[in-house]
Chain A
């Protein structure tokens, strides 16, 4: 690296961006995409921790309703529903949307395409701080009169539009919920704008689109989805807030009698909200899972020591999923009173989206075929992702069918399905990402031993939690019930046989949740005490591994890399190593680039091949 600087001494000093000196500019209001990425990840860690605790409390109440718990006391039905609403909102928005995209995407998209920073650093900083405000507003809902809202993360009106008379938490708490979501939309839009522009505009020399790592394709597509989906939720949120506070009737029909009082509204359409919400909500599912797919492809290839099988097909599949994702929202509404004819169209489109998803799975298996797999912790989680994605995604074939939605809609079958595929699989993608990129982010390795224990228990745990939920759904257990018995009396006799399964799931959930402490410990311990990581501890090929760990303020110490080949050149026959960096010049290549390389391509000197 030292001589690289010498080469550039002749140029203006302006080219090297000096890092800020003060603590506040460096770590708090930082413009550096790496710091912002870490801020997003920390936010997501806090959110996931809260969300997980809420889910454990919910499970305990379902299994042992009416018990006086230490500290918590007895959990009232409305409290349960508040926990559920905040659990869903927290996980979907502040974990599954922030960490994979805002966190890892922010940190690694610019580095992987060879840029110094995002296109608009100030907007980037704003997007994080706006998101944080949204998070605080959401938490504040717990502390207002009536508590947090109880309408679920889908916030269907009129329940969400009528105010306090519809239930505790539907007053101020619900307002805060809407405001929080609206703020979150703005933050995400700023982020998406930045991602798209950065990727289109700031790629390093030689980094053609089809040479980008699959992670970048996934982040890019996710950003496009966010850009087109969040404004629609924002519009819905504004209208809902006006219905609640200004007396308009967008979603509230006339002639409603709530708690024996006639409500003064007229003519609104509750289904309109559902259309707006799910037009956003379905792409949101892909916003959560696509970055995980990208990270999994990336990590599988790296530790399989083998190029990604069918790179082009993978890119097309990401696009196809993103595109189709905008035309399937109606499958959430088959039995909502929507026209049964459009339900049919939505159903067929929904099953078509299974095709690109299946293609991705096949290609992951193809990548592993003939590989030489190194079973590091990130690889274990990536393999777990594939397994869970299949297990959770495949029941979409059941739920996507109109006639099967008759028994399955709003049962635990749905819970099992979406928790596995967009919850747990996406979180496995994040775990894989964090174990994989931690050395780059903090210059130290995470403990492999703790990582493995974390993987084994979590992997078994999530299967034990979510597969039985499918069975509960088949028996007919409805979701969003705060309890199934009251005063020791079973409410629905047909659900009584499920009790052992309910208990089993709760115990599995508690064990799995406790295991996550291991991860938190590993994370913070390794930050300070982990083994030092070199530049490229995994012998990976993409640009983030050509720079120091952690990377300097401008990522490449003033020498932007030049890219000569695709991202996954492993096991190339005849090459001295089983991997070739993207920056490795190709002697048989384009001479124009080779000349260019002679003057500035020394950036990868540090690698001992």
Chain B
């Protein structure tokens, strides 16, 4: 019995480890901070993996070695209440390892969240709603027009409540896919008009909730050579059709992107749908 259990624990451990090498993995990162996140993940999962294997192998070994069937009948277990020195040792070692991991993990975080977006970032606004993404571009004048929740009307396709009386709003564009330039910092201001949603593009290694009543500015940069179309998902339960709240992140060469954002509202929309058709979704491993 004991030996069978020991072998089973080892087999399950082996299978778990093998599964992590089976090729199912992150999509290749496209953001500049992405590789750093991946590296931190790799370090952590290695530490975790070693600890996992060591603990399971140790557990299996104890079960294998110290089963009653493996010992003489009159023999007793070792009478021991512990070993202070040993316990101190492993407590201190785990504390050092765990806390250093935590501290190391802050670097990418600090870089993303403790700084403002660099000057010259491309700026767009994101307004999420049940079950649709709206992306608000300032148009050729580079100024975001006034919006007002009371002007929102899905029936008139004014999803973000743009106020036409504001001159700077007239050239603004609201579309359902996000086109950004490659190799240039991007700043998004995230808002939600009904419930909490979450902006999630797996290859971007970035996720942020869109909280009603809050404007959350975030920024990131996509690497210059990562041009393509990427799937954008909602990662915070937002209602019954949460699963189909999908959009695309379209990463364009700077020139192509500059041309797109210089267009007026109607041309912008046509051009965007052409671009969306032009690129295949990138499914990278």
Contact = CB atoms under 8 A, between A and B. Distances in A.
Interface of A: 76-78, 81, 150-152, 156, 158-159, 162, 166-168, 252-260, 262, 267-271, 304-313, 335-337, 340-341, 343-344, 347-348, 350-352, 354-355, 358-359, 361-363, 365-366, 368-375, 380, 383, 386-387, 390-391, 394-395, 397-398, 400-407, 409-411, 452, 456, 459-460, 463, 467-468, 470-472, 474-476, 478, 480-484, 486, 491-494, 496-498, 501, 570-573, 578
B279 interface: no
Interface of B: 1-2, 5, 8-9, 12, 15-16, 19-20, 22, 24-27, 36-37, 40-41, 44-45, 47-48, 51-52, 55-56, 58-59, 62-63, 66-68, 71, 75-83, 86-87, 90-91, 94-95, 98-99, 101-103, 105-110, 112-114, 129-130, 149-150, 152-155, 161, 193-196, 198, 200, 202, 205-209, 211-214, 216, 231, 233-244, 246, 281, 283
A468 B22 CA distance: 11
A309 B48 contact: no
Given A497-B24, A578-B76, 10 more contacts: A304-B66, A340-B114, A348-B102, A368-B66, A371-B77, A468-B19, A474-B26, A480-B242, A498-B24, A572-B79
B94 A354 contact: yes
A255 B149 contact: yes
Most buried by B among A258, A344, A478: A478
Nearest to B236: A410
Nearest to A258: B194
A375 B67 CA distance: 8
A281 to B, nearest CB: 15
A67 B239 CA distance: 21
Contact of B107 (A304, A368, A403, A570): A403
B187 to A, nearest CB: 15
Nearest to B76: A571
B39 to A, nearest CB: 10
Contacts of A355: 91, 94-95, 98
A369 B95 contact: no
Nearest to B22: A471
Contacts of A312: 82
Given A158-B212, A335-B209, A350-B102, A383 B37 contact: no
Most buried by B among A354, A365, A391, A401: A401
A166 B195 contact: yes
Nearest to B12: A463
Nearest 4 interchain pairs by C-beta: A253-B213, A401-B105, A370-B78, A476-B202
A185 to B, nearest CB: 23
Most buried by B among A254, A371, A395, A452: A371
A420 to B, nearest CB: 11
A335 B202 contact: no
Contacts of B237: 81, 150-152, 156, 159, 480
Contact of B213 (A255, A344, A401, A452): A255
Given A156-B237, A344-B110, A401-B40, A352 B98 contact: yes
B102 A387 contact: no
Given A159-B195, A390-B52, A493 B281 contact: yes
Contacts of B86: 366
Contacts of A409: 198, 207, 235
B102 A400 contact: yes
Contacts of B194: 158, 162, 166, 256-259
B45 A398 contact: yes
A122 B63 CA distance: 45
A593 to B, nearest CB: 21
Contacts of B216: 337
A257 B206 contact: no
A402 B37 CA distance: 10
Contacts of B55: 361, 365, 390, 394
A344 B106 contact: yes
A403 B63 CA distance: 38
Contact of A467 (B19, B81, B129): B19
A69 to B, nearest CB: 19
Nearest to A481: B243
A368 B62 CA distance: 6
A254 B213 contact: yes
A340 B26 contact: no
Contacts of A380: 5
Nearest to A260: B154
A359 B149 contact: no
Nearest to B23: A497
Contact of A407 (B5, B99, B202): B202
A335 B213 CA distance: 16
Contact of B44 (A76, A313, A401, A471): A401
A168 B240 CA distance: 8
A162 B161 CA distance: 20
Contacts of A337: 208-209, 211, 214, 216
A77 B241 contact: yes
Nearest to B232: A492
A466 B149 CA distance: 43
Nearest to B200: A478
B41 A404 contact: yes
Contacts of B79: 306-307, 570-573
B98 A373 contact: no
Contacts of B52: 390-391, 394
A148 to B, nearest CB: 12
A369 B59 contact: no
A260 B193 CA distance: 10
Contact of A372 (B41, B58, B66, B205): B66
A348 B104 CA distance: 10
A486 B202 contact: no
A351 B82 contact: no
B33 to A, nearest CB: 8
A395 B81 CA distance: 30
Contacts of A310: 81-83, 87
Contacts of A262: 149-150, 152
Given A394-B48, A397-B48, A475 B195 contact: no
